[in-house]
Amino acid sequence: MGGKVHLVNLVSSLLPQTRWFSLRRHLYRWAGADVGPGAKINGGVVLQGPNVTIGDETWIGRRTEIVPGSRAAVTIGMRCDVSQDVLFVTGTHEIGSPNRRAGVGRSDAITVGDGCWIGARATLLGGTSLGNGVVVGAGSVVMGVFPNNVLIVGTPARVVREL
């Protein structure tokens, strides 16, 4: 199934960046991703596996990279706006011995609620769960669980106000 995803990424990169959304939806579905009707995936978006859900009417900006694990999905809700160069990474490592600090690998799911807005070059790490209506500031590194309708910013991201 991974080969299909790589083929779709290649074909998608050859299409105009902000056109042919219907074709991209169809191609990513064929590769195993669950893509809602009305979702708009721009050119240069890279899915590293099929364990991805993108909700209806969600916008995925160019050069966004989504890296799910075989047991750790990336789920993006409906009516979300994901800016360009956003990174979703489910994989990490336990801290290992002094001989090799990147110990045993693991993957944790990422969940983005409905109506969220994720700013440019934000990074969402495994185990992140955003409630509905969350705004993530550009460049933030997000890990953890956040409630509905908050603005989070920084490295690491923290709640700076309720919306």
Please give the single-letter amino acid code of residue 85.
D
- In the block, tokens 């590769």 appear at 31
**Is residue 93 flagged as an active site residue?**
yes
Q: Could you tell me which of 110, 147, 154 has the C-alpha nearest to residue 132?
A: 147
Catalytic residue among 26, 93, 101, 161: 93
Query: Are residues 67 and 86 in contact, defined by beta-carbon separation less than 8 angstroms?
Result: no
State how far the alpha carbon of 99 is from the alpha carbons of 3, 143, 156, in Å: 34, 27, 27
Which residues are known to be catalytic?
A: 93
